Amino acid sequence: DKGLPQLDNKTYQLKTPSIPPQLSAVIQNVGFDIDIDEFSENVKELYPEIVNLVRLKNRTQRDLKLVKAEFNSVTARNAVLQAKDMTVNYMRFQVVEYLALARV
């Protein structure tokens, strides 16, 4: 990998920064029968500003019907939140603001 930075003849890989919660939204009622990888591809085609989609889990690590969408643009996130829903594969999903859990 010639594109990676080197220091003292050692190759280092750059880590991309994590997306802050302010750039996230939650897609509600995404059924368990929906393949999350295929759903992710379809959503990213419709909304190229979405960087990542993650199915949320509860405390016991069981999947929820909630999917967190991480955006790279505040304006795109706000536009989706203002629309209050998104249509993917002829199905309409409600979109709400993502509120990160407070760490105590």
Could you tell me if residue 41 is inside a domain?
Answer: yes
> Can you tell me the distance from the alpha carbon of 98 to that of 80, in angstroms, rounded to the nearest whole number?
12
- The answer to whether residue 2 sits within a structural domain is no
Range of the domain at 50: 22-97
The CATH number given to whatever domain includes residue 42 is: 3.30.70.330
- For the chain, what is the domain count? 1
**What integer is the mean pLDDT of 82-94?**
94
Q: Which string of b and e fits 26-61 if b means at least 16 CB within 10 Å?
A: bbeebeeebeeeebbeebeeebebbeebebeeeeee
28 falls within a domain: yes
**Other C-beta atoms lying within 10 Å of the C-beta of residue 65:** 14
Average pLDDT over residues 17-43: 89
- pLDDT digit string (tens) for 34-83? 999 999 999 999 999 999 999 999 999 999 999 999 999 899 999 999 99
Asked whether residue 10 is domain-assigned, the answer is: no
pTM of the model: 0.78
